[in-house]
Structures are given as structure tokens and as C-alpha cells.
Chain A
């Protein structure tokens, strides 16, 4: 499958308008933050810790509520309405830093669960799709294991398969490789790379700059809850415009 790309701004699947979020403290996590993501686009969000990257991601599927501003996913506004929220969560898959697999279920049942309960698929349908997804992430022979019997990299790949089982329009990755041993990062990035190649819309918060440069269509640099700079991969890394971006890139590269 080829990427079906449209010029920026034409077909935004994620439309975030001037959102603010303050945690008790008060800590300002998001400060008048706006961004759009197009269908099929891979947006990588980078920035120092505490810059609001994860908060931004968690706002996109309503795990955190914004104080003000608007979030529209695939034409559906994310607001207090519980139905719309569930509808959006069905369209948005999320992968966590700490995997968050269900420890009491086998790998296959982890992936079956939402298909059965949310998509109301039959057992056979769910089973077939789960096995297909496991095959896709290279874990077809692990279907009947429990999460604690897998390595970190394998667990994270199961978590990706679990999110994909909902056939989401957008996938969010919240530092998906940060909790992994170095030798396991590659296998997870490979799966993510494959997804990007197949045209999945992705918003990725990561510290893997090599991956960001290679896979991203656009990179956003955040600091103190604000969007400092955004740009296309190569240009962004070689010729950042803002001084702050330059400093940050110099520190981490």
C-alpha cells in the first residue's frame, strides 16, 4: 500500500485548537497548543521531559481532559459527551510506555478483548483477526502465553497488536520504547516502521531521534506546553529555525 498523502491542512484527521491544561500545583502542561495531523501522516513529537508531549497525546483520546480549547478527531468533537468519547477511543489506538497489557489474560485474549466487547465481533472473528495481528508483529507462536512470560519488546509488540485490533484510524505512541532494554528497541521500532509504511496515521512521542528522522513526515518540537517549531524530518534536523530547537538538538544528538 502506498501512502495516500494530501497537502497539509487539507484533510486533518486530528484537529487540535488552542488547548490548555493545568495540573494542580499549578503546573502548566499545555499552553495554548494547536496542531493538526493529516490522514496517513506520521507526526513525531519531541521535546525535553515535562514539555507536555505525553499530556498532549493523552488529551487526544480523552485520558486527560483539557481545561479549554477544542479537540476534533475524524470530525467528532471530544467533549463531555460520553458516547462521543467512546466513539473517539474506538478510532484512536494507544501504546503506552509501560505496555499495560492485561496480566490475567493470555496474549491472544488481550487482543480479543476489545474486539469482542467493543466491536461486538464473534469469537471466531476475533480469534482470526488476533492471530493475523500477532503474525504481523512477529509473535504468532506466543498466542497462548501470558504477558509476564514475554520479554519487554514482545510485550510492547503485543500491546501494539492489541491497539490495532480495534482497527483505529490513528495510533498514538507514548514513549513506546523508553521502558525497553536497548536490544529490544529495534524490534518495536520495526513494527512501528511497518505501520507507517502501510499508511497508518501516527502521532509518536519518542526520544529515538534516528527513528524520528527516518519515519516522520513532520516533527514537532514542544517546550513548556507550547509548540516551538515544526518541520519536515531532514530539514528540521539539519536546519532548525529556532535557537531553542538548535540547543535541544545539540544536547541529544
Chain B
């Protein structure tokens, strides 16, 4: 390269290329971004590794798969972590159904003409939203469960349903309120009664506004379900704690449990996004 070439490169082509890469191609900025992120991540990983080494922590990743699955006499058997995962899924599923029901009922109560109905709904909402979920779980478990004679699993489902139901009801209510008033008037003018108006006109239109945020709410429900481990329901978190108590595999088990929650939540979020775009285009 001649001197003139070098000068041209340094003064013109080089800067121009940089400007080109930065401005014309947003992809370039993204690569830099990702590279920085990976660098930070590597640094964190290194620090953890060094830290655990100084702690004298013995990593035993090889024993983790045994807590997920074991092969016993040619049969695949689920380990305690997988069993906990199933319980977590079960709790989430039932709570989801029940919280949708609770949310719907409370939303209708808040929109009803009855003063007492609206008052009850408001008391419920404010109580639930202004007390910690953990306290609600303890209250149900230690106070209500003995009175009502219900088990731990039912208590867990009830507590989560009432908690998430409060938030669901706000989502459902805003979805219903967002339906234009002309739709009510048209239904009334046709002589439809209140029930038919809701069923045939209002709910089908509100549902597309309600479902996407409700799916996101399901992700919260999944994460909040970890709290039921405090009342000795053997969910994913509780199984993790039990294994750690027996084996002291603290790091490995919490990493595994967190990863399982992460994957589940990501899958549900993805479903929520899909629901959102489906209902926006439909």
C-alpha cells in the first residue's frame, strides 16, 4: 500500500466504512451489543467459578440428572425434581382456571348495578392487592384450612386463585368496559336481556382484549406458585429445598430449578405473544 493509499484509507474510506456500518446497518450495532453482553456474562461466570472455588465448593453436576429421571430395571422413573415440576404445573393449571372464574365473577360484580355487589368486589380487590401473597397463603393455611377442613394442595390452589383472580378481574373488567357503549345500546334496542347481551355480544368482543394480558398473568401465576412451598406442598421449589437439605448440592439444584422455571415461563410468554398477535389480526 502506498502512502497515498494509506492516507486515503485512514482519512476517507475507513471513517466512511464505519459510518456505513453504523448507520446503514443496524445489524452491526446489534453484533457489538451481543458481544458486550457475552463479555459481561463470561466475566460473571468467571467470578462465580472463582468464588465457588475459594469457597471450596465441590460441583456435582453429574448427580443432577438422577433427580430428574432414573432408569430402574429398564423403566424410566421420574425423579423428585420432575415430580415437583408436575405438581407445580398441576397447581398452576387449576389456579389458572379458578382465577379466571374468580376474576370474571368479580369483574361482573364490579360492573353490576348492585351497590353491595360493587362494595364487596372493591373490598376483595383492595384486600388482596394490598397484602403480601405469602401472608395470604399463611392465612388460608393456618386459619381457613382447619376451619374448612381442606388439604394443602387445595389451600395452595385457593390462595393463588384468589390472588391472581384479583388481577385477572381488573383485566377482564377493562376488557368489558372497552367494548363501545353502542354495542350495549344496539343489544338493548333489539330486546336482548342482560345475560344474552353479555354472552352473545359483549364477551365475544371483550375476549380478544382480555386473553393476551390474561396469558401474561399466567406467567406470574407460575412464578408465584413457588411460594406454596412454604406450606409444605411438594412443588418444584419444595423438592429443590428437600434435595439440598439432604445432599448440600445447593448451587446445582437452584441452578436447575431456576432453569426449569425460566424455560416454562419463556414458553408461556411465547404463547402469550402468539395469542396477542392472533387476537390482534383476527
Q: Is the CB of A98 within 8 A of B188?
A: no
Report the Cα distance A63→B191, complex, angstroms.
11
Question: Which residues of chain B are within 8 angstroms of A177 by Cβ–Cβ distance?
Answer: none
Q: Is the CB of A86 within 8 A of B186?
A: no
User: Is B190 a contact partner of A166 (Cβ separation < 8 A)?
Assistant: yes
Residue B193 is within 8 A (CB to CB) of chain A in the complex: yes
Known contacts A96-B182, A100-B182; A63 and B189 CB within 8 A of each other: yes
Chain A residues closer than 8 Å to B193, beta-carbon distance: 86
Binds B, one of A4-12, A41-49, A111-119, A201-209: A111-119
Closest to B189 in A: A94
Do A114 and B182 form a contact, CB below 8 Å, given A103-B205, A104-B204, A104-B205?
no
Q: Are B189 and A93 in contact (CB under 8 A)?
A: yes
Assembled-state Cα–Cα distance A103/B186 (Å): 12
A103-B205, A104-B204, A104-B205 known; A113+B182 contact, CB < 8 A: no
Which residues of B lie under 8 Å from residue A159 when comparing CB positions?
A: 186
Q: Are B183 and A100 in contact (CB under 8 A)?
A: yes
- On whether the beta carbons of B183 and A114 are closer than 8 Å, the reply is no
Quick check: is B201 within 8 A (CB to CB) of the other chain? yes
Instruction: Give the CA-CA distance A101 to B189 in the complex, in Å.
Output: 12
Count class of interface residues, chain A: 20 to 34
Within 8 A of A (CB), among B162-193: 180, 182-183, 185-186, 188-193
Interface membership of B53, Cβ < 8 A: no
B residues near A102, Cβ cutoff 8 Å: 183, 186, 201, 205
How many residues on chain B are close to A (CB under 8 Å)? 16
Chain B residues closer than 8 Å to A92, beta-carbon distance: 189
- A103-B205, A113-B200 are known contacts. Are A89 and B185 too (CB-CB below 8 A)? no
* Interchain nearest-CB distance for B89 vs A (Å): 33
A163 within 8 A of partner (CB): yes
Indicate whether A154 reaches chain B with its CB closer than 8 angstroms: no
Q: Give chain A nearest CB distance to B34 CB in angstroms.
A: 42
CB contact list, A100-133 vs B, under 8 A: 100-104, 113-114, 117-118
Decide yes or no whether B90 CB sits under 8 A from chain A: no
- The answer to whether A163 touches B189, judged by C-beta atoms less than 8 angstroms apart, is yes
Per-residue contact bits, chain B 198-220, to A (CB 8 Å; 1 contact, 0 not): 00110011000000000000000
Within 8 Å of chain A (Cβ to Cβ): is B196?
yes
**Chain A residues closer than 8 Å to B200, beta-carbon distance:** 113, 117
Knowing A102-B201, A104-B204, the reply to whether A96 touches B191 (Cβ < 8 A) is no
Q: Are the C-beta atoms of B205 and A86 separated by less than 8 Å?
A: no
A113: chain B residues within 8 A (beta carbon): 190, 192, 200-201
B191 CB contact (under 8 Å) in A100, A101, A103, A118:
A118
Decide yes or no whether A61 CB sits under 8 A from chain B.
yes
Interface residues of A in 137-176 (CB under 8 A from B): 159, 162-163, 166
Q: How far is the CA of A114 from the CA of B185 in the complex (A)?
A: 13
Contacts of B201 in A (CB 8 A): 102, 113
Residue of B nearest to A94 (CB): B189
Residues from chain A with Cβ under 8 Å of B196 in the complex:
117-118
The answer to whether A63 touches B188 (Cβ under 8 A) is yes
Cβ of A139 to closest chain B Cβ, rounded Å:
18
Residue on B nearest A62 in the bound complex, by CB: B188
Check if A90 is an interface residue, CB within 8 A of chain B: yes
Least Cβ distance of B166 to chain A in Å? Answer: 28
CA distance A166 to B187 in the complex (A): 12
B191→A114 contact, CB < 8 A: yes
Q: How far is the CA of A92 from the CA of B185 in the complex (A)?
A: 13
Task: Map CB proximity to A onto B82-104 as digits: 1 under 8 Å, 0 otherwise.
Answer: 00000000000000000000000
* Smallest Cβ-Cβ distance to A90: which chain B residue: B191
CB of B190 within 8 A of CB of A96, answer no
Q: How far is the CB of B234 from chain A (nearest CB, A)?
A: 44
Cα–Cα, bound, A118→B192 (Å)? 6
**Chain A residues, Cβ within 8 Å of B180:** 100
**In the assembled complex, how far is the CB of residue A64 from the closest CB belonging to chain B, in whole angstroms?**
10
Chain A to chain B contacts (Cβ below 8 Å), 30 pairs? A61-B189, A62-B188, A63-B185, A63-B189, A89-B191, A90-B191, A93-B190, A94-B189, A96-B186, A98-B182, A100-B180, A100-B185, A100-B186, A101-B186, A102-B183, A102-B186, A102-B201, A102-B205, A103-B205, A104-B204, A113-B190, A114-B192, A117-B196, A117-B200, A118-B190, A118-B191, A118-B192, A118-B196, A163-B189, A163-B190
Q: Which 6 pairs across A and B sit closest by C-beta, in order of nearness? A: A100-B186, A100-B182, A114-B190, A89-B191, A94-B189, A90-B191
Residues of B at the A interface (CB closer than 8 Å) are: 180, 182-183, 185-186, 188-193, 196, 200-201, 204-205
